[in-house]
Amino acid sequence: MTGASGAVFTQALLRLLQADGRVGEVQFVVSDHALRVVAEELGLAGRSGVLSALAGEDHSKVTLLRNDDVGASIASGSYPSDGMVVLPCSMGTLASIANGLAARLIDRAADVCLKERRPLVLCVRETPFNRIHLRNMTLAAEAGATIFPVIPAMYFRPESIDEVVTQFCCRVLAHLGLPQADAYHWKLDTRAPD
C-alpha cells in the first residue's frame, strides 16, 4: 500500500484475501505515506492498529512488513511468491518501479516480480495523468507489469461505495487467478433481436 488515496480499496483486498481459502500467506507492506492516508481516510494513527483496521480482527494470513526492510523475504527472487499487487499505487511508487530504483521494500519486491516474471499488478491512483505518469506506466508495462488503474465499474448498478470497492478488488484478484464467488459477471443478452 502506497501513499495515494484509496485506503478502502486496500482494506477490501486484504479482507478478500484473508477470507479466501485458496490463499496462504500474504506479505503486506505499507509505505510511510500510506500510513498518513490511512490516518486521514480511516481515522487511524500510527502503525499499531493499521493491520486490524485494514485486514480485519482475524488477520492470521497477513504479515505486516516495514517498507525500510529491504532484507525482508519478498526482496529476494529465491522467496516463492505468486505475485504482487500495489493498491493504491502512487505515482512516486510507479516511477520508482518503472525506473528500477528498488530503494524501498515495495519497489524492491516489485522489481523481483518483474525479473522473475511473476505477476505485478499496479493499481495506479491519480487523475489526470501527465506525460511523466503515462511514460512511467508504459515503462512498467513494457517490463511486464499490469497497469490496473483504480477505475471502478458502474454497469452492475452498485448500491453502495462498499459494493464498488469490493467489485474492483474482485476484478484484481480474478486477474491474478483468484476469481471471487461473489463477483459480478457481465452476462450476454441471449434474447433474440426484435
In a domain, 49, yes or no: yes
DSSP 75: G
- Partners of 86 in beta bridges: 122
In a domain, 2, yes or no: no
What pLDDT does residue 192 have? Answer: 47
What pLDDT does residue 193 have? Answer: 53
Tell me which residue range forms the domain holding 22: 7-175
Helix, strand, or coil here: 106? Answer: helix
The set of long-range contacts for 162-170, using a CB threshold of 8 Å and a minimum separation of 24, is: 162/8, 162/12, 165/8, 165/9, 165/11, 165/12, 166/12, 166/16, 168/9, 168/12, 169/9, 169/12, 169/13, 169/16, 169/87, 170/16
Helix, strand, or coil here: 89? Answer: strand
In a domain, 65, yes or no: yes
In a domain, 125, yes or no: yes
In a domain, 181, yes or no: no
DSSP 67: T
pLDDT tens track of the chain, all 194 residues? 999 999 999 999 999 999 999 999 999 999 999 999 998 999 887 667 888 889 988 899 999 999 999 999 999 999 999 999 999 999 999 999 999 999 999 999 999 999 999 999 999 999 999 999 999 999 999 999 999 999 999 999 999 999 999 999 999 999 999 999 989 988 754 444 55
In a domain, 152, yes or no: yes
**Which regions of 10-60 does DSSP assign to beta strands (E)?**
26-30
What pLDDT does residue 191 have? Answer: 44
Find the CATH number of the domain harbouring 45: 3.40.50.1950
What pLDDT does residue 189 have? Answer: 47
CA pair distance 163, 186, nearest whole angstrom: 15
In a domain, 191, yes or no: no
What pLDDT does residue 47 have? Answer: 67
In a domain, 98, yes or no: yes
What pLDDT does residue 15 have? Answer: 96
How many structural domains compose the chain? 1
This prediction has a pTM of 0.93
